Structure 1
Amino acid sequence: MTLIDNPDQQALAESVRKLVAARSPLTKVREVALSDQSYDADVWRLVCELGVPGLAIPEQYGGAGGTWADLFIVLRELGAGLVQTPLFASSVLAGGALLASDDEELKSTWLPRLADGSTIGALAVSEENDATWGSQPSTVTAADGKVSGTKVAVLNGAEADLLIVQASDGLYLVQTQQSGVTIAGDEVLDLTRSIATVRFDGAEGHRLAGTADVVLDAVIDLANVALAAEQSGAIKSCIDITAAYANMRYSFGLPIGAYQGVKHKLADDYTEWSLVDASVRVASEALTSGASTASAAAAAARVLASPAYTRAAKNMMLLHGGIGFTWEHDAHLFYRNAVTGKVLLGGPLFQQDRLADKLGV
């Protein structure tokens, strides 16, 4: 096992890093966040031109035939810049669900469209008062292929062309452009996430072949590592931005980074980031190789990443002093993202229980 990106992955990361710096700096992220758009269409087009949405999709389905580790590397770079794209929802959640299913017809039809970015997918699992992300029986019903019910907290649901929906008797692929689907965007804390409530009223759906629990179990693993990868990138940005400020902000004749109250917090954040980044890489390799430890590694990465990111984002605000608490500074964007990510796709207790279960505790 190696925790170092190979040359191709390093080149991929560098390409995405340059794209983020040139086309989606934090000033642009803020502009998009305050607009009526959930993501920058030009940035998404460039991401698609790099072939990113299809990285982990096999060539037989129109993808690049890469690995999940390749895609997680991209998510790490996008997470570092808080770049708004539907990549997570479309390629990881919806694409991962299709790949884990046994439905060759739906795979052949939709995966090529997800791979080139012409179609955006999303996964509709969560329901009201359900903190276990699909572990409880669904109240959404499907009679004769007609889906009815409500799903909440659907990541990029408002932008999706198709939804993979968990119903009481399995998973259904539902196209959003039909009369039986109503989508309402939600007002959320995180200005860089698009989350929606979706209501189905006899919407036409196609049941995915395969066992829903098996598919969702595989998707949870992918989602945990993908989100942890984003958070690893964001933690490092919090540290880098704060360290740069600590070196240029002087107090009593010294840069504030010289004082223990500042440098110890940054050192703690860096130590936690090192553990998070290593856990993401271990989980990425385990998923890519199909190791028996993959589920436990994925859960461990998420359990480490989410609280570490919250602490790093909080320290970012604290160590910037008065300006760190203002709307004009970018620190609140990271903090909002961290707090939302901590409960996204199953909160801390769900993730800890999942880790314990995968470890056989």
Structure 2
Amino acid sequence: MSLIFTDDQKSLAETVRRFVAQRTPLPKVREVIGGDQAYDQEVWSRLAGDLGLAGLTIPEEYGGAGATQADLSAALRELGAGLVPSPLLACVLTAGALLALDDEEAKREVLPRIAEGALVGALAVSEPGNRRWIPAEPETTATGSGDAVTLSGAKVAVLNGAEAGVLLVQARGPQGVGLYLVERSAGGLTVTKDEVVDPTRSSATVTLDGAPARLVAGDAVAALDRVADLANLAIASEQCGAMLACLTMTTEYAKVRYAFGQPIGAYQGVKHKLADMYTLWALADAALREATRAADEEPAKLGTAAAAARTLSSPGYLTSAKETMLLHGGIGFTWEHDAHFFYKNAIAGNVLAGDADYQQDRLADKLGV
């Protein structure tokens, strides 16, 4: 059962944890986000190639490992704890959407390249002025048919859109809402990198002005519903890992930081804050474990469980990251300390793939209330 990590999952988590500590510790992350690149190419090559994370949940027939969502969750916790910049989430969502569709040719063309880390895919769904992450009726339009389809419109907050080699774009065509593949080199496509709160994530604004595209066969609405669940699972996994990192960091600091002759952890005001942080993490962790169990064993319950996990993890992480910064005192606010990186990550993650209202609405819909 996914409620308890298997030996293989523990081994995978340990491998990723060791990789993060050796290859991309927080001082290294600082160097990356202070440069021009969204992520370290060598680190990404190792994550995708040596560790196989890019293709972890892609079936073996498409070049992946065919692992479970619980396996991916175990790995994402460790990456979240290390705030590792990478396009893994963008690739997971793109691959998840393709797998939920019926276009065998598109799957065999794109998925193997994603699985080996040779191609970064990006899902382009959000639009200006629409509060929903995935619009029910997108303003982006598709015209033409066959090999002569073009897209026009704009997409915002496209995760790793500037680094992607292919975009999977939601648009409204003659047959209704569909998902379309657009090559990064396509004419009429403009990608502008965004200024972001969280420097460990990259997003972009995508403008399409008659950009050539290819319709991916299948039920796009059902595929995007599946993607929303996968996004909640993945983000909640990263956030649970980051929450535990915040708790660990702050607990250790409370043992060594002295005030009035004793460790600050001896004071009730600090103890209570740490206890609250632990409670927030434990609740989110339990909900996440149930969501990964549902994903692998009871798919019909995935939507509810994933939205519940995200409803707990996002605000819980935001609170924990804020308390981490505050309990470190003045140093926690400075560039020299890592606490504020977690806080920025939590702020951005709180609205990534749908804010709190969106997640609560989704949970209510899945519960039928």
Superposed CA deviations along residues 117-141 of structure 1, whole A, max 9, x for unmatched, are 1000010000011111113311111
Instruction: Kindly indicate whether the alpha-carbon contact (under 8 Å) linking 2:326 and 2:332 is maintained by their aligned counterparts in 1.
Output: yes
* Residue identity in the other structure for 1:229: S
Aligned counterpart, 1:254: 262
* Residue identity in the other structure for 1:286: A
Offset of residue 252 of structure 1: 1.1
Q: Which moved more, 1:9-18 or 1:129-138?
A: 129-138
Instruction: Kindly indicate whether the alpha-carbon contact (under 8 Å) linking 2:127 and 2:135 is maintained by their aligned counterparts in 1.
Output: no
Give matches, 1:160-175, under 5 Å. Answer: 160-169=164-173, 170-175=178-183
Give matches, 1:86-235, under 5 Å. Answer: 86-90=87-91, 92-144=92-144, 145-169=149-173, 170-235=178-243
* Residue identity in the other structure for 2:274: L
Q: Does residue 67 of the first structure (1) align with residue 74 of the second (2)?
A: no
Q: Which moved more, 1:2-11 or 1:31-40?
A: 2-11
Q: How far apart, in 2, do the equivalents of 1:206 and 1:69 lie?
A: 32
Q: Which runs of 4+ in 1 moved over 4 A?
A: none
* Residue identity in the other structure for 1:84: P
* Residue identity in the other structure for 1:139: E
Offset of residue 74 of structure 1: 1.1
Offset of residue 2 of structure 1: 4.8
Aligned counterpart, 1:34: 34
Q: How far apart, in 2, do the equivalents of 1:127 and 1:181 lie?
A: 15
Q: How far apart, in 2, do the equivalents of 1:74 and 1:163 lie?
A: 25
Q: Secondary structure at the match of 1:292?
A: helix
Instruction: Kindly indicate whether the alpha-carbon contact (under 8 Å) linking 1:130 and 1:136 is maintained by their aligned counterparts in 2.
Output: no
Instruction: Kindly indicate whether the alpha-carbon contact (under 8 Å) linking 1:23 and 1:43 is maintained by their aligned counterparts in 2.
Output: yes
Q: How far apart, in 1, do the equivalents of 2:271 and 2:29 lie?
A: 28
Give matches, 1:16-27, under 5 Å. Answer: 16-27=16-27
Instruction: Kindly indicate whether the alpha-carbon contact (under 8 Å) linking 2:125 and 2:135 is maintained by their aligned counterparts in 1.
Output: no
Q: How far apart, in 2, do the equivalents of 1:337 and 1:188 lie?
A: 10
Offset of residue 211 of structure 1: 1.4
Aligned counterpart, 2:52: 51
Aligned counterpart, 1:13: 13
Q: How far apart, in 2, do the equivalents of 1:354 and 1:295 lie?
A: 8
Superposed CA deviations along residues 320-357 of structure 1, whole A, max 9, x for unmatched, are 01111112111110000001110111111010000011
* Residue identity in the other structure for 2:262: L
Instruction: Kindly indicate whether the alpha-carbon contact (under 8 Å) linking 2:2 and 2:292 is maintained by their aligned counterparts in 1.
Output: no
Q: Secondary structure at the match of 2:162?
A: helix
TM-score, length of structure 2 as denominator length: 0.96
Aligned counterpart, 1:327: 335
Q: Which moved more, 1:102-111 or 1:65-74?
A: 65-74
Count, aligned residues: 360
Q: Does residue 285 of the first structure (1) align with residue 293 of the second (2)?
A: yes
Superposed CA deviations along residues 212-250 of structure 1, whole A, max 9, x for unmatched, are 110100000000010000000000011111111110001
Q: How far apart, in 1, do the equivalents of 2:219 and 2:64 lie?
A: 24
Aligned counterpart, 2:81: 80
Offset of residue 360 of structure 1: 1.2
Instruction: Kindly indicate whether the alpha-carbon contact (under 8 Å) linking 2:182 and 2:213 is maintained by their aligned counterparts in 1.
Output: yes
Superposed CA deviations along residues 197-218 of structure 1, whole A, max 9, x for unmatched, are 0111211111111111101000
Q: How far apart, in 1, do the equivalents of 2:2 and 2:350 lie?
A: 28
Q: Secondary structure at the match of 2:364?
A: helix
Q: Does residue 350 of the first structure (1) align with residue 358 of the second (2)?
A: yes
Q: Secondary structure at the match of 2:196?
A: coil
Q: Secondary structure at the match of 2:181?
A: strand
Superposed CA deviations along residues 42-81 of structure 1, whole A, max 9, x for unmatched, are 1111102211111100011111111122112111110000
Q: How far apart, in 1, do the equivalents of 2:99 and 2:297 lie?
A: 16
* Residue identity in the other structure for 1:74: A
Instruction: Kindly indicate whether the alpha-carbon contact (under 8 Å) linking 2:113 and 2:119 is maintained by their aligned counterparts in 1.
Output: yes
Aligned counterpart, 1:263: 271
Offset of residue 178 of structure 1: 2.1
* Residue identity in the other structure for 1:316: T
Q: Which moved more, 1:161-170 or 1:285-294?
A: 285-294
Q: Using a 3 Å threshold, how does the CA distance of structure 1 residues 290 and 115 change in structure 2: closer, same or farther?
A: farther
Offset of residue 112 of structure 1: 0.5
Offset of residue 142 of structure 1: 1.1
Q: How far apart, in 2, do the equivalents of 1:178 and 1:28 lie?
A: 34
Offset of residue 290 of structure 1: 3.7
Q: How far apart, in 2, do the equivalents of 1:219 and 1:71 lie?
A: 15
Structure 2 unaligned blocks of 5 or more: none
Identity score, percent? 59
* Residue identity in the other structure for 2:20: V
Q: Using a 3 Å threshold, how does the CA distance of structure 1 residues 2 and 157 change in structure 2: closer, same or farther?
A: closer
Instruction: Kindly indicate whether the alpha-carbon contact (under 8 Å) linking 1:78 and 1:233 is maintained by their aligned counterparts in 2.
Output: yes
Q: Using a 3 Å threshold, how does the CA distance of structure 1 residues 76 and 199 change in structure 2: closer, same or farther?
A: same
Q: How far apart, in 1, do the equivalents of 2:327 and 2:221 lie?
A: 44
TM-score, length of structure 1 as denominator length: 0.98
Q: Secondary structure at the match of 1:52?
A: coil
Structure 1 unaligned blocks of 5 or more: none
Q: Secondary structure at the match of 1:53?
A: coil
Superposed CA deviations along residues 268-323 of structure 1, whole A, max 9, x for unmatched, are 11111011111111101111124321110000000000000000000001100111
Instruction: Kindly indicate whether the alpha-carbon contact (under 8 Å) linking 2:126 and 2:135 is maintained by their aligned counterparts in 1.
Output: no
